[in-house]
Amino acid sequence: MIKRRGGPYPHLRLDLGIKVTQGLDVVQLVLGEGRTFREAGAALGLSPTTAWRRFWFALDLTLPERYGRPPGPIPPQRGTRACPRGRPYLPTLDGPGGPLHRGGNL
């Protein structure tokens, strides 16, 4: 029998549709109405940190389309262990042949 490991990660997974909807709502409040992340989070029932993460998730998810590229895989969420700093690596943009590729051995 496999022993199950405890921990918060499997329990905190959010449905992608909800995450995208919340992200687009935060983008609208912050960029469209000029609110702060604290105000946007309060309006949507999110913490300021979660509002900031959803904002960047929505922008990172739509970034390839802004460069005329096909959507790539779901990007990791900024501010987490998967993407601790900066913009996440997006293969459709940063990979070989992508508009933001900087060369190197990929």
pTM above 0.85, yes or no: no
Residue 10, pLDDT > 60, answer no
- Nearest of 57, 47, 52 to residue 20 by alpha carbon: 57
Residues 20-76 have pLDDT tens digits of: 999 999 999 999 999 999 999 999 999 999 999 999 999 999 999 999 999 888 888
Cβ-contact 75, 46 below 8 angstroms: no
Q: Which two tokens stand for residue 20?
A: 């995208």
Q: Return the closest-CA partner of residue 8 out of 81, 87, 88, 86.
A: 81
Question: What's the angle, vertex CA 105, arms to CA 104 and CA 106, rounded to 5?
Answer: 105
Beta bridge partner(s), residue 83: 80
